Amino acid sequence: MDLQENINVPHFVLFPFIAQGHIIPMIDIAKLLAQHGAIVTIFTTPKNASRFTSTLSRAVSSGLQINIVTLKFPSEQAGLPEGCENFDMVDISNDLWNNFFYAVTLLQKPAQELFDKMSPRPSCIISDFCIPWTSQIAEKHQIPRISFHGFSCFCLHCLFKEIPAALVSKLPKEFVEKMHEAEMRSYGEIINTFEELEKEYLNDYKKVRNDKVWCVGPVSLCNKDDLDKAEREACDSSFEDWSESWCEGCNGVW
């Protein structure tokens, strides 16, 4: 496909939050979009890109138009250990949450500079809800920003009313406020769930989000190749190990 043809093809730019539970479904979404003929570009960091290079290489070899743009992660500038580019690398015992989220905010400028030069022109941004500054990029280029959520409509409806104090206390207040503001300014939301699973909760959530909510899950079903399925499960296991460690470090009964 030449450049002239590409001009008329939708170009989606994806910004996954750099945590395994967020990246994995976003890679699936990239495949789904590309399978429907769209051009897809994924912004991430070098170490995170290396985690799914093989599965995307197979997708590209099959004819899908998926590209990767890497951003140098400012670990040291944010007070993180060198090479700490994924949330599962964060030592939560040292309370480095704030440092990690600060590092994510520092990615805005280099991402903006690269985005400005992209060709063909992006048609839409699909951004993890944990990356609020993508709303500014979308507004600058006058394209829609659609936020992605990996959890249920029930959970989102509860969070829309009030974010639990325990969660807010762990995250930078300013960051939480910016996430909420970006959500309100987004064109809509896609959620990794399906209507038949929670129809009533979906309808309730649509009412508070002006009906611009779409269920796209389970996105994992896009993986037909056995090797892709196996590699996806291997990535999932690292997140499970991290989440189990996190739960063990919390007070309370589970």
* pLDDT value at residue 162: 61
pLDDT of residue 8: 84
Cα(250)–Cα(254) distance, integer angstroms: 9
Q: Is residue 1 part of a domain?
A: no
The confidence band for 110, taking pLDDT boundaries of 50, 70 and 90, is very high
Q: How many CB atoms lie within 10 A of CB 7?
A: 11
Residue 253 forms part of a structural domain: no
Whether residue 1 has pLDDT greater than 50: no
In a domain, 231, yes or no: yes
Q: Is residue 202 part of a domain?
A: yes
Compute the mean pLDDT over every residue in the chain, rounded to the nearest whole number.
Answer: 86
Tell me what the mean pLDDT of segment 111-139 comes to. 97
Is 34 a member of any domain? yes
Evaluate whether 179 touches 205 at the Cβ level (below 8 Å).
Answer: no
Q: CATH code at 129?
A: 3.40.50.2000
Residue 198's closest CA among 244, 156, 161, 152?
152
Termini Cα distance of the chain: 53
Q: Which of 9-18, 167-176, 182-191 is predicted least confidently?
A: 167-176
**110 within some domain:** yes
**Does position 3 have pLDDT exceeding 60, yes or no?**
no
Question: How high is the pLDDT of residue 241?
Answer: 54
Question: What is the per-residue burial (b if ≥16 Cβ within 10 Å, else e) of 9-42?
Answer: eebbbbbbbbbbbbbbbbbbbbbebbeeebbbbb
Which residue range forms the structural domain that includes residue 31? 7-248
Question: What positions carry a catalytic annotation?
Answer: 22, 128
| Residue 107 reports pLDDT greater than 90 | yes
Question: pLDDT confidence of 176, banded at 50, 70, 90?
Answer: confident
| CA torsion through residues 135, 138, 155, 203, sign | positive
Examine residue 239 and state whether it is found in any structural domain, yes or no. Answer: yes
The domain tally of the chain equals 1
Question: Is 156 part of a structural domain of the chain?
Answer: yes
- Reported residue count of the chain is 254
